[in-house]
């Protein structure tokens, strides 16, 4: 009976030691290894490029606001977008940048067309006002001639 109790106590002791070793190993492993693996070089590069694109788009938005009513300067912005598209032509990873530049080019071309239409309408309005002023002046001159007679 003493042997049985001794064997049982020995088994419980080994079980407790084994349990402590397993828990200790799991705690050590959790501390020394991250739960989420660190991204690889490709993923880090992709993230960095995405951040650069975001920052560039913010700068470009500020520049567009500054030159929004100047079609000559907007044309320069279009050329810079086109140049970047040409520089990245063979790069498969640059599709997001190329898409951003194409959208920017379309937006700037639309704005340039709007400015041209506004200027055309303003020129037509000024010409019409000048015609009306000339007609009014002629009518006034004719009225003053009739009064003089």
Q: Is the pTM of this model over 0.85?
A: no
Can you give the pLDDT of all 149 residues of the chain as single tens digits? 888 888 889 999 999 999 999 999 998 988 888 777 777 888 888 888 888 888 888 988 898 888 888 889 899 989 988 988 888 887 777 788 888 889 999 999 999 999 999 999 999 999 998 898 888 888 888 777 777 66
Q: What is the pLDDT of residue 107?
A: 92
Residue 116: burial class (beta carbons within 10 Å; 0-12, 13-18, 19+): exposed
Q: Would you put residue 66 in left (φ > 0), alpha (ψ -120 to 50) or beta?
A: alpha
Q: What is the pLDDT of residue 149?
A: 65
Name the nearest CA neighbour of 72 among 105, 117, 112. 112
Q: What is the pLDDT of residue 33?
A: 80
Tokens of 23: 């828990």
Q: What is the pLDDT of residue 17?
A: 94
Q: What is the pLDDT of residue 117?
A: 93
Residue 137 half-sphere exposure, CB side, CA atoms within 13 Å? 6
């Amino acid at each position: 009976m003493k042997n049985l109790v001794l064997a049982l106590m020995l088994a419980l002791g080994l079980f407790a030691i084994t349990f402590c070793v397993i828990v200790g190993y799991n705690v050590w492993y959790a501390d020394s290894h991250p739960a989420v693996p660190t991204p690889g070089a490709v993923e880090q590069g992709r993230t960095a490029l995405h951040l650069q694109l975001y920052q560039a788009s913010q700068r470009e938005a500020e520049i567009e606001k500054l030159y929004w009513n100047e079609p000559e300067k907007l044309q320069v912005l279009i050329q810079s977008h086109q140049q970047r598209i040409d520089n990245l032509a063979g790069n498969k990873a640059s599709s997001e940048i190329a898409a951003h530049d194409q959208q920017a080019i379309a937006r700037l071309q639309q704005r340039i067309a709007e400015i041209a239409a506004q200027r055309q309408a303003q020129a037509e309005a000024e010409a019409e006002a000048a015609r009306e002023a000339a007609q009014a002046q002629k009518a006034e001159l004719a009225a003053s001639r009739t009064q003089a007679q």
